[in-house]
Structure 1
Amino acid sequence: MDCLFKPFSHSEAKMPHELLLSTYSSSSSSSGHETPRSSVSALRAGQAQKDTSSTCHQDGSETSRYAESETNCSISKKLQTAVVQEKVYDIHADEKQITRTLHKLWVEEKLCDVILSVDNTQFKVHRVVLVAYSGYFYDHFITSETSSAVSELPLSKIPLAKTRSEVMRKMLQGIYSAKITLDSFCVEDMLATASFLRISAVIGACQSFLCDTLSLDNGINYLRIANHYKLEDLLEHAYKLICANFTVVSKQHQFNELDYREILSIVQRQDVIVTSEIEIFRTVVSWLEHEKPKRAKHTGSLMKYVRFPMMTKDELVDRVECCDLVSESSELNDYVREAIRFHLLPFRRSILQTARTVPRSQAMTEVIVTCGGGSTEENGRSASSIYYHDINGERWKPFAGMPEPRHYHAATTLGNYIYVAGGATGKSGRNTSRKAWRYDPYGEIWLRIANLLEPRQTFQIEPLDDRLYAVGGRNDENSALHSVERYNPSTNAWSWMASTSTPRSHVALAAFGGRLYAAGGLENDAISCRVERFNPVTSQWEIRCPLPQPRFAGTLCSACDYLWLIGGYKMDHNGRARSFTPLASIEVYSPESDQWTNVDIPDHLIKTVEILAEKGNEIKDSKKKSDHQAANNHSTKSTCCVIRDRLFFMGGLTEFGVHCVILSGIIPNFAESYVHRGILGVNTATKPDLDLYPVHFEGAACTVARLYKEPRFKF
């Protein structure tokens, strides 16, 4: 019987695939799987062959063929719009199994297509493995001009002259097994070979081995290795080891073999531990004289980083000035003279600060320093104690003791020296003082400086352009002052400056942008909303935008390009004379736009708050809180400081805890347009409290200082 064969047309050939796709898509809609394109192609071919064979009719009926064709065309038209869908899936390969397989192939020398020739020893390896691990072989096989010719060879032979066979064997073993064995005898050769072949995995292993075996005996050698091969982690480890043991390492004979870059990096570092800076000087002199004709040109650049002001006067005179290098180098001579001036002019040290006046230390930290204050207990006395707190620490610690107890005084920091001035020493704010001191946190020494021109308390002092400004306050007669004094460390003298427009005590003071801002205050019986700005160029005060609400006894701080007015009192409108209510809000001032914006601290955050801005949200109205709640939740007559955009305020009449306001989160969305409209989104979150202050107090003074060592003072 004849068999009729009818070839499929293009549309008919697609039918099985389209039909399968339609069926699979409907069933996979619930399972979430899609048919891969490669599977569709295979199914199309198989189904086409099956359908082709089915068209061989033995009866030769034209009617049957016509009916089948009509049916197929009908189905094809319905499925013409089907879309092939495609998704990508991760294949979770067993990396260990792949490594084991490659290692087995290498050991058995199967499928190898490259021979590495080292010291007459041949290693059969796989080209793809070399290309994957080595930048050198990648260039050789892929990007070089000879790559096409090399790839056509059945077995390429590559000679390597810059290594040894034992090293190459260990390296290949490590590459194929993902584990490499290193020891002190081969690590340098291994590092050299890995660097030449640019095999980063082996270089990293070598660096880890060197870091783990670093010691005083090999520190200098490892430092030179790290510099040669640019091993950053090893370099830092070596420098830290040398700096921590400088007295020992600097006496080793290899130390004078260091090159200029290495000795320069050491003397520049902050973390060099020495009993005296004279050790650094003597080490540099020894290095220079080791090859004096060649190294003399580096005298000035190296001595620039020797901290001569940190030496004693005897060391400068007896051991530095007599050195021949001082007379031979004009730069060194200038540095020595600078140090002598630093010692001869003690009152000026706060304004003679340079990189050479910073003590070397491995643990510099910024701390809150709070001094003095009056006890909130009945018949309490003024305190002379000073405590400090590292914001990352756990508790307040003794810092120093003031020469005299006092409260309602002022304190600030200039050149990391702490200045304390004025205040009251008696009960009920009597015995207002003119005395002033300066404290050196590193030397732990008090220096009595010139007295204020006028006794004052309930005032603040602020540094501006290497000068200290004391503004307002009150005297023993309880009268507010409008006078302003300026202290010049160069002359150790106070001088009168232009007075503020009105007399004010408890005025908030802060410097910003080369200007001095004074906000609010108590004008005898009236609370002020006045804001003034002092221009040191014209020596005049300029009136600025007033406070939205009159307040006094607040604290003004500069941070994140804004001024922040915290706490204080407002007038209590209950008909009673001199009745005040503590404020729980923060006023934020933009010097650029001369505008104030009010931010209320949420009720549920008593001691510690974090405020984050979200653009477009209106400030929540917290004026519903009662005066009693405000008095219980927020301290008054507290003291305040800023560390790394974090505003800390402490103490006061109602609280002796520590409050923290995080300012940095506010700034990104704190645009001027939102300041003008009075819009600031507030999102709050609690943070762990700092330890409570050791005593209840009011009228204390607070500032920020850098500590380079643990204070020795004990109460």
Structure 2
Amino acid sequence: MSYFLAFCKSHRGLVFTQYQVLRSHRHLCDVSLVVDGHEFPAHKSLLACSSDYFNAMFKDYTKESRASVIHLKVITAAGLQSILDFIYTAWLSLSLKTLEDTLEAANYLQVVDAIPLCSKFLINSCDLENCCFVANIALKYYLVDALEEAEQFIKNNLWNLLQEDIEGTELVELNVKSMINLIKSDNIPKVNEQYLLSLVLKWLQYDRTRLLHANVFFENVRYGLLSLDTLRELYKQSEVPLTPSIKNIIIKAINYHSFPSKQPLLQDKYSTLRNQKGWILLVGGTANGELVENVLGFDVYSHKWRMVTNLKVKVQHHCTCVIGNFLYVIGGETTESTKSSSSSTCLLATNVVYRFDPRFNKWIQVSSMLEQRAQFSCCVVDNHIFVIGGRGNQQVTYSSVEVYDINRDAWTRSKDLPCKIHGQANAVHNNIIYISGGKLDGRVNSSKDVFSFNRLEGQWKKQAPMTIARFGHQMATVKDSIFTFLGIYEPFSDIESYDPMHNQWTRLRPMTFDRFCYGLVVVEQTVLFLGGKKWQDSREVATHNVVGYDAENDCWEEICSLAFPFCGLKCEILQMTDVNEANDINDKVHSQMK
């Protein structure tokens, strides 16, 4: 005997439609729901199928199962109307004005299918005008997705919110949980710490009961990013009480500002930038035959450029390094040294050292080197800066090595090199310094020599020489290998790697782009070459392309181009935020919120 199972798509919809017709004519309605004097006829069977609340109410043993009129005193008439319409039609009418009534009714009556629709409506409605309202409603009714979206929107658009809402009237109404999540966040674009603190103080004072949460907020303020004047004002103010532990943190931050030269060694969560991102900084060198003053930032992932700051002194043949997310610009040749000279166009070596702080976009001058140096090498070991060899004025070549102690802001002499040398390169591997190549004092030809220095042993050791003599070249450490790249006037484009464990050099695939006087930086396992010079028609020509070397796969790739030909530059990676792009807005907001 054969049979088949058939399905009618329209039947369920037809049943809903007929139920709505019966309701509109009050036909076969066996219960009336009364709220605030408003009567809503309905069918117990459909209510029980759509709501756990009504399903429990209309059990055989309950008195409500026999009642024809039921009074609901908790929800509003508007909310019940919206939920009944949803039960009978599967359509939910929503607006920000009636949303809370609808959610209240859906939760109380346990019509669970309506709640995700309310959450989705909140997410889609979130904008600058109502994001705080959305967050508050989402928290009140446990709409996790909507709350997460609203809080993320507030973080991403806080600087816009402050601009649009100068008085902060909407922001101060934000719920406690969302405000705590905001101040804890690492990602708040374009708003610096001073304006976050102003918002927190205003929020706490808006409702004095919030002072119970003051400690949580103050524990998450980043005091190292606040100015000294702001810290002192905060410590003295009496409107918002501060616990002894918070006062101690503020005093620590005041001391942090009192010893600026030590700041790179005092980094902690209170001095870490929010919304920070690694930018490659292009420092010094020349463009179009002139020394470059602008320090540019480059995002290798988005190929985005930004202006970061201006050098205090234009330099070339200098060195740079980063400690504690502070940029040091050391020595080099500059025209600034010739102000008292009869020849203003002469470049002279300098011993001046400047340090840049991206937290406040500020330069300071720290202690100068003992010697004036150019074409030297520099590296960082155990938070100490080593400067090695180089040449001074009158073509003096050095074998001396100096060490900068950040804690004492002082330079001292270390163990001299075995020979006087300049134009060498260096790299650090496992806290051991390696230098290679360069030109020895009084010699014309470049060197293949390699030396290493262990700070604990205090001695320079000669290692296996490179296979190619190099001068004005660069070295880079990637994982457990040290790479040497092209220098000045090299006949080939060969590169090689050094294995410190086995004291052995290996020739690698030649560079497909001849290059010298370029900037070099390592991003993950890729070595980037920025700008530099190349040979073209027997002439030195500045270039503007950015080239990448994949150290793991030994291959080359052209990445993008600089805005203009750039050579003799130094490159470092510095963590920066985009807060400076919105400072004009922040200044206006801060003055209004005081």
Of 350, 355, 369 in structure 1, the residue corresponding to residue 269 of structure 2 is 355
Q: Work out whether 1:371 is the aligned partner of 2:283.
A: yes
Of 540, 564, 582 in structure 2, the residue corresponding to residue 694 of structure 1 is 564
Q: Is the 8 A contact 1:216 1:242 kept in 2?
A: no
> What is the SS of the residue equivalent to 1:366?
strand
Percent same amino acid among aligned pairs?
Answer: 18
Q: Work out whether 1:565 is the aligned partner of 2:479.
A: no
Specify whether residues 692 and 286 from structure 1 end up closer, same or farther in structure 2 by C-alpha distance, changes over 3 A only: closer
Paired residue for 1:269? 185
Paired residue for 1:403? 312
Give the superposition deviation at 1:588.
Answer: 4.2
Give the superposition deviation at 1:635.
Answer: 0.7
> What is the SS of the residue equivalent to 1:223?
helix
Paired residue for 2:126? 214
Give the superposition deviation at 1:640.
Answer: 0.6
Q: Is the 8 A contact 1:367 1:707 kept in 2?
A: yes
Paired residue for 2:38? none
Of 394, 407, 410 in structure 2, the residue corresponding to residue 493 of structure 1 is 410
Of 235, 239, 243 in structure 2, the residue corresponding to residue 329 of structure 1 is 243
Q: Is the 8 A contact 1:420 1:438 kept in 2?
A: yes
Paired residue for 1:707? 576
Paired residue for 1:302? 217
Structure-2 separation of matches of 1:275 and 1:258: 20
Specify whether residues 501 and 299 from structure 1 end up closer, same or farther in structure 2 by C-alpha distance, changes over 3 A only: farther
Q: Which has the higher relative contact order, 1 or 2, with Cα contacts under 8 A spaced 6 or more apart?
A: 2
Larger radius of gyration: 1
Q: Work out whether 1:638 is the aligned partner of 2:559.
A: no
Paired residue for 2:42? 121
Specify whether residues 682 and 242 from structure 1 end up closer, same or farther in structure 2 by C-alpha distance, changes over 3 A only: closer
Shifted more, 221-230 versus 275-284: the winner is 275-284
Paired residue for 1:551? 470
> Structure 1, residues 685-704: CA drift from partner, whole Å, max 9, x if none?
x55x433352453x322222
Paired residue for 2:372? 455
Using structure 2 for the length normalisation, give the TM-score: 0.72
Q: Is the 8 A contact 2:80 2:102 kept in 1?
A: no
Q: Is the 8 A contact 2:370 2:411 kept in 1?
A: yes
Q: Work out whether 1:466 is the aligned partner of 2:383.
A: yes
Which ranges in structure 2 are unaligned for 5 or more consecutive residues? 21-28, 34-40, 56-69, 336-342, 535-541, 583-594
Q: Is the 8 A contact 1:219 1:241 kept in 2?
A: no
> Structure 1, residues 190-226: CA drift from partner, whole Å, max 9, x if none?
5567678999875443233213333555433322333
> Structure 1, residues 614-640: CA drift from partner, whole Å, max 9, x if none?
xxxxxxxxxxxxxxxxxxx32113221
Give the superposition deviation at 1:331.
Answer: 1.6
Structure-2 separation of matches of 1:341 and 1:277: 18
Q: Work out whether 1:187 is the aligned partner of 2:56.
A: no
Which ranges in structure 1 are unaligned for 5 or more consecutive residues? 1-40, 43-96, 141-158, 571-578, 604-632, 668-680
Paired residue for 1:230? 144
Structure-2 separation of matches of 1:429 and 1:467: 32
The residue identity in structure 1 corresponding to 2:519 is T
Structure-2 separation of matches of 1:263 and 1:413: 34
Q: Work out whether 1:106 is the aligned partner of 2:20.
A: no
The residue identity in structure 1 corresponding to 2:533 is L
Q: CA RMSD in A?
A: 4.8
Specify whether residues 105 and 501 from structure 1 end up closer, same or farther in structure 2 by C-alpha distance, changes over 3 A only: farther
Q: Is the 8 A contact 2:16 2:89 kept in 1?
A: no
Q: Is the 8 A contact 2:297 2:308 kept in 1?
A: yes
Give the superposition deviation at 1:408.
Answer: 0.9
Structure-2 separation of matches of 1:365 and 1:279: 20
> Structure 1, residues 389-413: CA drift from partner, whole Å, max 9, x if none?
3335667555444333331111222
Specify whether residues 414 and 552 from structure 1 end up closer, same or farther in structure 2 by C-alpha distance, changes over 3 A only: same
Specify whether residues 116 and 191 from structure 1 end up closer, same or farther in structure 2 by C-alpha distance, changes over 3 A only: farther
**Counterparts of residues 600-611 of structure 1 (less than 5 Å):** 600-601=509-510, 603=512
Structure-1 separation of matches of 2:461 and 2:85: 78
> What is the SS of the residue equivalent to 2:380?
strand
> Structure 1, residues 99-144: CA drift from partner, whole Å, max 9, x if none?
755423433469xxxx9999473375699x98xxx9x89xx9xxxx
Paired residue for 1:75? none
Specify whether residues 167 and 692 from structure 1 end up closer, same or farther in structure 2 by C-alpha distance, changes over 3 A only: same
> Structure 1, residues 372-398: CA drift from partner, whole Å, max 9, x if none?
3256x7xx5544443333335667555
Specify whether residues 454 and 180 from structure 1 end up closer, same or farther in structure 2 by C-alpha distance, changes over 3 A only: same
Q: Work out whether 1:245 is the aligned partner of 2:154.
A: no
**Counterparts of residues 88-99 of structure 1 (less than 5 Å):** none
> What is the SS of the residue equivalent to 2:262?
helix
Give the superposition deviation at 1:459.
Answer: 2.0
Specify whether residues 280 and 122 from structure 1 end up closer, same or farther in structure 2 by C-alpha distance, changes over 3 A only: same
The residue identity in structure 2 corresponding to 1:656 is T
Structure-2 separation of matches of 1:659 and 1:116: 79
Specify whether residues 211 and 454 from structure 1 end up closer, same or farther in structure 2 by C-alpha distance, changes over 3 A only: same
Structure-1 separation of matches of 2:311 and 2:8: 72
Give the superposition deviation at 1:293.
Answer: 8.2
Between Structure 1 and Structure 2, the one with more strand by share is: 2
> Structure 1, residues 582-641: CA drift from partner, whole Å, max 9, x if none?
5343x34556676655431564xxxxxxxxxxxxxxxxxxxxxxxxxxxxx321132211
Using structure 1 for the length normalisation, give the TM-score: 0.61
Give the superposition deviation at 1:266.
Answer: 1.8
Specify whether residues 191 and 126 from structure 1 end up closer, same or farther in structure 2 by C-alpha distance, changes over 3 A only: closer
> Structure 1, residues 38-71: CA drift from partner, whole Å, max 9, x if none?
xxx99xxxxxxxxxxxxxxxxxxxxxxxxxxxxx
